[in-house]
Structure 1
Amino acid sequence: MASIQGVMKKQLVKHSDDRGYFMELLRNDDAMYGSFGQASLSMSFPGVIKAFHYHRLQDDIWYFPSGHAQVVLHDMRKDSPTYRQTDVYYMGEDNSFLLFIPRGVAHGYRVLGPKPVSIVYFTNMAYNANEPDESRLAYDDPEIGFDWSTKNR
């Protein structure tokens, strides 16, 4: 499956020894790094769905250091060759990578498993409460049509 145009994934590497581990997250020479705006941390409880929203000006870079999440992206950019395409990523402590989400791509996640998930995210702009760059859609938006339920296989 081809991914949504502009979305980038960076696999993370843990350097472990008998003391623990070290892992670089984001560097200013990474292809996905644009400019620094803000770094944030959020925690969500099991079963929570936080979806969907998108930005006109802001790019996001997501990382889940603990727990597990199903991440869903939907391309809202009418001029994109992947317009209206939906992609799914499984991220978390057992699958460590950064995910670059370009402006105009709706994004959200569902917490998987029995424990909370933490997300660290970086943006290229600081949040402005007076003029928030955020448009919201319902998690079950019919235009996106994503089924969040877990299927038995």
Structure 2
Amino acid sequence: MIKGVIYKKLIKHCDDRGTFMEIIREDEGILEQFGQVSASMSYPGVIKAFHYHKLQDDVWFFPVGNAQVVLHDLRQDSPTYRHTNVYYMGEENPSILLIPRGVAHGYRVLGSKSVIIVYLTTKAYQADQPDEYRIPYDDPEIGFDWSTKFR
């Protein structure tokens, strides 16, 4: 696992009224501070990758649909420098993922249903100084193959 990444399986409480999940709590120590909560929807087959931040950490949660999430460590001082991790998140695997600053991240929508991602950040977005640095999804230095392999 890439150093500093936290992956937490969520507990879904069910009864005859529906379901309830705590996603993240301040007493878990996952985020050192809170900046913003946002949500985004992506259509089936879409790849949103890669980007990273120099100042903020992210927590990702997919309440609708399913996604393949890919992380790549760009932190030169990290013992997991240039390591890549893959996570499968969404309705079929409710979980959260802490993505530390300096770790490139992106996702691919799986299946025929759109996904919704809810993400929390330690800093609020600043349009005049965005903390977002883009890398193409097919960057040869990362070298990740986004295609699904059938066995």
The counterpart of 1:112, out of the listed 110, 122, 131, is 110
Structure 2 residue aligned with 1:43:
41
TM-fit CA distance, 1:94: 1.0
- How far, CA to CA, are the matches of 2:31 and 2:74 in structure 1? 22
**Root-mean-square deviation (Å):** 0.5
The counterpart of 1:65, out of the listed 43, 63, 71, is 63
- How far, CA to CA, are the matches of 1:126 and 1:52 in structure 2? 20
TM-fit CA distance, 1:34: 1.5
1:62-121 Cα distance to aligned partner (Å, 9 max, x none): 000010000000000000000000000000011011100000000000000001000000
SS at match of 1:29: helix
Gaps of 5+ in 1: none
- Code of the aligned partner of 2:120: F
Q: Tell me if structure 2 keeps the 8 A contact 1:60–1:101.
A: yes
TM-fit CA distance, 1:11: 1.2
- Code of the aligned partner of 1:108: G
TM-fit CA distance, 1:32: 1.1
- How far, CA to CA, are the matches of 1:6 and 1:55 in structure 2? 14
- Code of the aligned partner of 1:131: Q
TM-fit CA distance, 1:31: 2.6
- How far, CA to CA, are the matches of 1:31 and 1:5 in structure 2? 16
The more displaced of 28-37 and 4-13 is 28-37
- Code of the aligned partner of 2:44: P
Identity of aligned residues (%): 69
- How far, CA to CA, are the matches of 1:34 and 1:6 in structure 2? 12
- How far, CA to CA, are the matches of 1:33 and 1:132 in structure 2? 20
- How far, CA to CA, are the matches of 1:103 and 1:135 in structure 2? 11
- Code of the aligned partner of 2:32: G
TM-fit CA distance, 1:33: 2.1
Question: Scaled by the length of structure 2, what TM-score is found?
Answer: 0.99
- How far, CA to CA, are the matches of 1:90 and 1:31 in structure 2? 23
- How far, CA to CA, are the matches of 2:27 and 2:8 in structure 1? 13
Matches within 5 A, 1:19-98: 19-98=17-96
Question: Scaled by the length of structure 1, what TM-score is found?
Answer: 0.97
- How far, CA to CA, are the matches of 2:115 and 2:26 in structure 1? 26
Q: Tell me if structure 2 keeps the 8 A contact 1:27–1:33.
A: no
| 4+ residue runs over 2 A deviation | none
TM-fit CA distance, 1:10: 1.4
Structure 2 residue aligned with 1:129:
127
Aligned residues: 151
